Structure 1
Amino acid sequence: MSTDLVPLRAPAPAPGTAHLDVAALRAATPGMRHAHHMNAAGAALPSRATLATITEHLRMESLLGGYEAAEALAPRTEEVYRSAARLLGAAPEDIALVESASTAWQRAMDALRLGPGDRVVASSSTYVSSALHLLELRRSHGIELEVVPAGADGRIDLDALERALRTPASLVTLAHVPTSSGLVEPVAAAGALAAAAGVPLLLDATQSLGQLPVDVRETRSDIVVATGRKFLRGPRGTGLMYVGPGVRERARPTAPDVRGAQWSSAYRYEVMPGARRYETWESSHALRLGLGTALEETLGLGVERIRDHVTALAARLRGALPDVSGVRLTDPPAAASGIVTFLRQDEDPRETVRDLRALGFRLTTVPASHGQWDLGSRGLERIVRASLHVYNSADDVDALVAALNGRERRRRTAGSAARRGEAASEPLPGTVSTPAPAPDGVPWGAATTDADHADVIVVGAGVHGSSAAWHLAARGARVIHLDRYPQGHTEGSSHGRTRMIRRAYPSEVWDGLVDTAYGAWEELELAAGRRLVTVTGGLFARPTTARGGLRGPGCETVDHARAAELFPGLRLCEGFSAVHDPDAGVIDAAASLGALAALGKAQGVDRRDGCAVLGWRREGAGVRVDTERGVLRAGRLVVCAGAWTGELLSAFATRLKVVRIVNLHLGSSRRHLLEPPLLGAFSVEVPDIGLLYGIPAHGGAGVKIGLDHGPAEDPSVSAGPVTEAERERLLGLAARFLPAVDGTVEESITCRYTMAPANRFAVGALPGEDRVLVAAACSGHGFKFGPALGAALADLAEGGRRPDLDFLSPAAMGLTEEAGR
């Protein structure tokens, strides 16, 4: 096995160019596929290269051993010190690698051995952990502490600092960029004052290193502490510290470790000459190597370019927020970093962040308890913080501003409704409550006050219809949601305990939508406040002589022996190979449908179960829908009717086929062999029989198995129970591939697949009827896309475009405008 690892690198600008290739940086950042990530000041998204470095080293440790892997890659570890030194304008021997900025701060402060009579001068921008440490030293060690006030622009008052330094002091500490705003402190000027007074400067570069230049010579810093997880884009659990040669002469570690000291005789030891005296022996070599990759990427891009990019984006956001009704910018005048803070009128910032998160924006809040000398002094209990990085673009900023504008429109509409005496539903914690403008520029709800009128009528209460109804209502639309059966029925395709989710697909055309689906489930979990997806890994097997098969990002092909190591509960014989998908898992289907129904109700969805649709037609600028209970009208119709799609949309009648599917949940006296991690999601192509699929024992239910095909079935006739022949056929397959199955049939289930040509879906506008949208023909693999397709239908209903779904459009299925009419 080679130890000469060459990690992937982030795309650097071409020589002579001034701008970053944001599109390439986004493509190299997996997390940007799922959301508008604006929380770099909390934990930035790592690149694919950083992730690969970490996982490769962990793999080496598993194969070689921890000591042996560290020894093999010792030269690479030394490069981490050199990269950190280059970034800070220092020498490698001045660098120590630690677990966090707080760890670095504590070791540096402890080594100074401050006591009674020692005076520390601190900026009001000091981070909470540092402030708490200073307050404890004041209480327990008797140090004197003076907090220098901020000037009118928010920065440290340099005149006040100069006056403070006229009295002897032992240390000046300054946060380059605070956690609580986009302020940038004048560190070079402050460092010059400290140096002139002969007082060492401890610079907290936690929020600046990686987005702003930090040079220890220019800032006259004696100690610098920083973390890896923020603007350096390194992994959590990493940090670094710079300790200059001068201060090291008197700053000895209070708890020396074998990493930083040599035990030379029975009662004697010597500390190392460099900054590594502050390290400990035990550390995560994988994470440190990941930090090294992140440092190299930062150096390759150029800190000046990064600064120009993030500060321009922040300035764009800072300039736009004052024009959003109800939003107040809370950044001080001297804000000039990639951090922007604000408040929404009469709203807890945590609610603001929850609302935005449900719409795909990742921001955070900062409470006054994290910055009493700053936020507390300004009378701010908590603020919303957005922080931008190289993978963000102007589109991200504009989308956030649009979402905030939409939220204010929704609040005004709700306020008007309250004044008219109309009922308003209370949103659940974590639910979406931000609207977007409806098509044609008319706000949702503007002309829909009649109980039988809506902005959108959604037909079908399976996973796609329920998700679409929730997303539409959350964006401000008035939604009537219809299903022909009572809630909880078992005649369709979405009932049952569990479903499978996987990245492995036959063609790369699906990869983007699969990524979107994983992100959409995360957002639904956040909104619902509960776990809905459990990652178990998956194995998808077929005879080695078979053509085609699955593939996908992060997947690998394994032989039957390796498959047995991965999933001892699954038995494959020689002649089979499998695709291993480590991200595959189990969806709690019942809980997901319950969550979507509750979230929809909280947003005002008018759910009408047991109300069959008899027909529909275009009427004026909208749609008329005839039901068993009367006539309804709306601006848009969204059809997610599953097996009944052909009845409602005649164009699909000849293209869709409804088939019967049978599932069994099986027990075992050795249940652990049928549970993760000994068994995950799986499928096996069985010659002359078909595709056997299974979901491991989960949530109290036994292992679930079924065959991915069945006879044609009329959806207007009840599915009926599982027959004895169907049961025996599945039990025979279980005995062949799941040797631990020796218990009873715990549950038998029938459901329906609605199959389309090439096993695809049809998602989009009905050709020739722009007011009618459809998500039809799950083809047996659609549940995993439920939240993602619900959001897509909401986008399309608002008049937006989703080119990523063009390959699933009704036109791609062969429907023409004439056929759609």
Structure 2
Amino acid sequence: MTAQLDGAVTSRLVAAARAATPGAGHAHHLNAAGAALPSAAVLETVVDHLRLEARIGGYEAAEAVRPRAEQAYGLAARLIGGRAEDVAFTESATVAWHRAVDGLRLGPGDRVVATSSTYVSSALHLFELRRRYGVVVEVIGADETGAVDLGALRAALRTPAALVTAAHVPTSSGLIEPAAAIGEIARAAGVPYLLDATQSLGQLPVDVTEIGCAMLVGTGRKFLRGPRGTGLLWLDPVLGGELRPPAPDVRGASWTADDEYGLLPGARRFETWEYSHALRLGLTAALEELHATGADATHRHIAALGEEMRAALAAVPGVRVVDPPAAGGGIVTFVRDGETPARTARALRVAGLHVVSVPAAHGQWDLGRRGLAGVVRASVHVYNDSDDIAALVDALSPGRTGATRVPLRGERPVSAPALLSEHVDTIVIGAGVHGSSAAWQLAARGDRVLHLEQFAAGHERGSSHGPTRMIRRAYPSPVWDDLVDRAYLAWAALEAESGRALVTRTGGLYARPADGGAGGLRGPDCTLVDGARAAEIFPGLALGEEYVAVHDPAAGVIDASGALAALAELGRGYGVRRHDGTPVLDWAPDGEGVVVRTPHGAVRAARLVVCAGPWTGSLIPAFADVLRVIRIVNIHVGSSVTSTLAPPALGSFSVDVPDVGLLYGIPAIGGRAVKIGLDLGPDDDPAAVPGPVTETERATLRALAARFLPTADGGVVADLACRYTMAPNNRFAVGPLPETPQVLVAAACSGHGFKFGPAIGAALADLAYGVPRPDLDFLDPARMLRRER
């Protein structure tokens, strides 16, 4: 256990903190320097006030809790050794920093002397002051310890300056700047000193009198364990009476006459009338808890555990701790040989360890000057102990890929029946694209998610297998446009979080007979073109004069198998417990919750999400007569001139062939041959294993390839059968069931649902949490069950 604290005391401290922190059982959370886990009391304080506002009104609720809200000033002042009247609260540390600096009214030639530890947003603000007002910005480099070169700072302040600013602890390392020594030099030079204590408040002792700063800013979300959206500003009482906010607000000023106003004394003149009272109260609760636990005990535990983590990581082969010698406290930065920090952080997230990567763009004066493109940052708090450090070391050790989840404290491998007896928040049925997206999104919002799939991972009995899918903006009705926009945004978000490139833009052509009348597809930025123009856009597709086509420049190809892998990894990273080979026998409402029965036992949850594709009707009988399951066949056809069937000569396409059906295709991409299929087929029984593609089915598709893809002159190099679950008007059912609103469904992809996968997952999570989604009204399950057309 921790060396500098008695073992029993430390154990009690950690045990109490973990018991009071819901998120501590979700993962090994090593990201207190990003946003620490709040306690249940902080969470309840925020939610209770929101409920009070909803019940009696925002103004009335604020008046009711005013005495408690006022306590925050004294609690914050006590923490930093100042007076309550010199504290102001803001929306963030960055907002506090901006208000303090702007209050100085810097002008042409005014010098700002900054340390290389300065936070990115502060540096950007200084750049803008330099551009707009001619402010001079001078950066002081580091000494051999990595801390600010005090001699260089002293020399720089021999020339008049308007401000000295430093970050007590930077975002990019565990460095601890000599804050008091900087203050002594600044005081001797008569220069105001602004200390950014964003990453030190709560983890290090901070006393404004001992440090000698004139201004201090901090945030609530990090080591104070308050809510996001809270920050504070402290001002020296003399300076606080001199600074003037450039944009006074009624909260900090009084309109005294027709053209006169007066400012409140001290820091509160920088506050604004409109702020989140719920978040402010949450910060109050967090400050109370810190004082109750003991700030000194918290500081010692964090520092000792940080020292333990730094030493443990330094001993892992292939891991290099890159903190400077002046580092300390509970933040450790490192890099892994042959791997980008972003990739390391993602792999650790999948393994159940929450850390963050910091790119050089967030600290050019530090990381950029040290030649580091980025670092992985791990940071501990009072709810962490040696078990978390051991889990991090284990995940980074040679032979571990990072893809295997590291067990939480006290967690043992258990059998499926034992695990299924545990309580969870949400059960998701089905591990296709919709179910996997929903499981990830719900877990990311804090749900304990049990994800059940009746077959083995990667099975080919449903609708989500295979290498590729099409994405397009072209749709027959504007009612889809909003969801299409959300789909594109959701895929971009999935790519960003997973670090995988999943969507390739190729453009698309969607053709119909020229004499077929109006109708067909349309959409934002889509244009109608004739056969000649279509041939110019996609030379590989032979339509002829008898066809017109809608050109969709935003259309493309989704890496379907990569998407499912990414969703599964992200789900594991957020704590989703997935069980393959676990069919659901039945389910039943249980009060406001639901009980799901499997061969391994029953489990109760607050809600159930059914994304069962072709098996929806067997789980929700009301859909059995509404949905139709059909067999669909795809083939990949070779070519003697592959480039003619690959982008840009060919993109995603479809052709409405009279008396045959809708032919669709994916260009040759990712080393695969061109893929084609027909958007119709015979009824299929989901209880049976799909039969192999027949010679007749191949011949039908080969004939269509010869007609519309002249250079698809090779053989069939691959084929597969899948299932479409078709609904009336080819729509989906997305939302709660009418009689059991704790049960949500996403059903009937109708042959075009994969492209909406991440967006449908987000929609289900929104609906589960009561977020209104009027854009989904046209997909309300009640409408489908009423057979509305």
Q: TM-score, with normalisation over the residues of structure 2?
A: 0.56
Task: Output aligned runs, 1:118-137, within 5 Å.
Answer: 118-137=110-129
Q: Distance in 1 between matches of 2:229 and 2:406?
A: 39
Question: How far apart are residue 249 of structure 1 and its match?
Answer: 2.8
1:584 corresponds to which of 596, 607, 613: 607
Question: How far apart are residue 142 of structure 1 and its match?
Answer: 1.3
Q: Do the aligned partners of residues 585 and 120 (structure 1) sit closer, same or farther apart at CA in structure 2, a change above 3 Å counting?
A: farther
Question: How far apart are residue 170 of structure 1 and its match?
Answer: 1.2
Task: Output aligned runs, 1:772-783, within 5 Å.
Answer: none
Question: How far apart are residue 588 of structure 1 and its match?
Answer: 3.7
Question: How far apart are residue 592 of structure 1 and its match?
Answer: 14
Question: How far apart are residue 379 of structure 1 and its match?
Answer: 0.2
SS in structure 2 opposite 1:391?
coil
Aligned residue number for residue 355 of structure 2:
363
Task: Output aligned runs, 1:97-108, within 5 Å.
Answer: 97-108=89-100
Q: Which amino acid aligns with 1:380?
A: L
Deviations 1:511-535 (A, max 9, x none): xxxxxxxxxx9983626999999xx
Task: Output aligned runs, 1:266-281, within 5 Å.
Answer: 266-281=258-273
Q: Residue 743 in 1 paired to residue 735 in 2? A: no
Deviations 1:46-85 (A, max 9, x none): 1100000000000000000000000011101101111111
Q: Distance in 1 between matches of 2:10 and 2:574?
A: 45
Decide whether the 8 Å contact of 2:73 with 2:88 is kept in 1. Answer: yes
SS in structure 2 opposite 1:132?
helix
Q: Distance in 2 between matches of 1:47 and 1:262?
A: 38
Aligned residue number for residue 18 of structure 2:
26
1:56 corresponds to which of 37, 48, 59: 48
1:377 corresponds to which of 369, 381, 387: 369
Question: How far apart are residue 695 of structure 1 and its match?
Answer: 3.4
Aligned residue number for residue 526 of structure 1:
570
Q: Distance in 2 between matches of 1:65 and 1:166?
A: 56
Decide whether the 8 Å contact of 1:201 with 1:223 is kept in 2. Answer: yes
Q: Distance in 2 between matches of 1:280 and 1:592?
A: 55
- RMSD between superposed Cα atoms in Å: 4.2
Aligned residue number for residue 254 of structure 1:
246
Q: Which stretch of structure 1 is more off in the superposition, 298-307 or 71-80?
A: 298-307
Q: Do the aligned partners of residues 113 and 681 (structure 1) sit closer, same or farther apart at CA in structure 2, a change above 3 Å counting?
A: farther
1:71 corresponds to which of 57, 63, 67: 63
Q: Do the aligned partners of residues 488 and 742 (structure 1) sit closer, same or farther apart at CA in structure 2, a change above 3 Å counting?
A: closer
Question: How far apart are residue 310 of structure 1 and its match?
Answer: 1.2
Q: Residue 44 in 1 paired to residue 36 in 2? A: yes
Q: Residue 488 in 1 paired to residue 478 in 2? A: no
Task: Output aligned runs, 1:330-341, within 5 Å.
Answer: 330-341=322-333
Q: Which amino acid aligns with 1:303?
A: A
Question: How far apart are residue 268 of structure 1 and its match?
Answer: 0.3
Q: Distance in 1 between matches of 2:277 and 2:458?
A: 57
Decide whether the 8 Å contact of 2:351 with 2:572 is kept in 1. Answer: no
> Unaligned regions of 5+ residues in structure 1, if any?
1-12, 412-431, 438-460, 468-480, 491-520, 534-539, 543-547, 553-579, 594-642, 644-663, 685-692, 702-737, 747-821
Decide whether the 8 Å contact of 2:613 with 2:749 is kept in 1. Answer: no
Decide whether the 8 Å contact of 1:47 with 1:233 is kept in 2. Answer: yes
Q: Distance in 2 between matches of 1:592 and 1:436?
A: 33
Q: Distance in 2 between matches of 1:680 and 1:207?
A: 47
Q: Distance in 1 between matches of 2:38 and 2:204?
A: 18
Decide whether the 8 Å contact of 1:585 with 1:680 is kept in 2. Answer: no
> Unaligned regions of 5+ residues in structure 2, if any?
408-428, 437-453, 464-564, 578-586, 595-603, 617-686, 688-724, 751-780
Decide whether the 8 Å contact of 1:182 with 1:338 is kept in 2. Answer: yes
Task: Output aligned runs, 1:461-500, within 5 Å.
Answer: 487-488=460-461
Q: Do the aligned partners of residues 200 and 682 (structure 1) sit closer, same or farther apart at CA in structure 2, a change above 3 Å counting?
A: farther
Aligned residue number for residue 234 of structure 2:
242
Q: Distance in 2 between matches of 1:356 and 1:592?
A: 35
1:315 corresponds to which of 304, 307, 315: 307
Deviations 1:398-455 (A, max 9, x none): 11101111xx2257xxxxxxxxxxxxxxxxxxxx546999xxxxxxxxxxxxxxxxxx
Q: Which amino acid aligns with 1:185?
A: E
Q: Do the aligned partners of residues 319 and 523 (structure 1) sit closer, same or farther apart at CA in structure 2, a change above 3 Å counting?
A: farther
Q: Which amino acid aligns with 1:743?
A: R
Aligned residue number for residue 779 of structure 1:
none
Q: Do the aligned partners of residues 342 and 97 (structure 1) sit closer, same or farther apart at CA in structure 2, a change above 3 Å counting?
A: same
Q: Residue 190 in 1 paired to residue 182 in 2? A: yes
Decide whether the 8 Å contact of 1:209 with 1:226 is kept in 2. Answer: yes
Q: Distance in 2 between matches of 1:318 and 1:62?
A: 47
Q: Distance in 2 between matches of 1:482 and 1:585?
A: 19
Count of residues in correspondence between the two structures: 491
Q: Do the aligned partners of residues 65 and 549 (structure 1) sit closer, same or farther apart at CA in structure 2, a change above 3 Å counting?
A: closer
Q: Which amino acid aligns with 2:461?
A: G
Q: Which amino acid aligns with 2:399?
A: R
Task: Output aligned runs, 1:335-484, within 5 Å.
Answer: 335-405=327-397, 408-410=398-400, 433=403
Q: Distance in 1 between matches of 2:75 and 2:101?
A: 25
Q: Distance in 2 between matches of 1:191 and 1:667?
A: 72
Q: Do the aligned partners of residues 297 and 147 (structure 1) sit closer, same or farther apart at CA in structure 2, a change above 3 Å counting?
A: same
Q: Distance in 1 between matches of 2:217 and 2:68?
A: 22
Q: Distance in 2 between matches of 1:486 and 1:184?
A: 53
Q: Which amino acid aligns with 1:248?
A: G
Aligned residue number for residue 744 of structure 2:
695
Q: Which amino acid aligns with 1:298?
A: L
Decide whether the 8 Å contact of 1:126 with 1:178 is kept in 2. Answer: yes
Deviations 1:321-367 (A, max 9, x none): 22211111100011111110000001111111111111100011001
User: Percent identity among equivalent residues?
Assistant: 53
Q: Residue 289 in 1 paired to residue 338 in 2? A: no
Q: Distance in 2 between matches of 1:194 and 1:390?
A: 34
Q: Do the aligned partners of residues 483 and 140 (structure 1) sit closer, same or farther apart at CA in structure 2, a change above 3 Å counting?
A: closer
Aligned residue number for residue 158 of structure 2:
166
Q: Do the aligned partners of residues 399 and 530 (structure 1) sit closer, same or farther apart at CA in structure 2, a change above 3 Å counting?
A: closer
Q: Distance in 2 between matches of 1:340 and 1:410?
A: 21
Q: TM-score, with normalisation over the residues of structure 1?
A: 0.54
Q: Distance in 1 between matches of 2:130 and 2:388?
A: 44
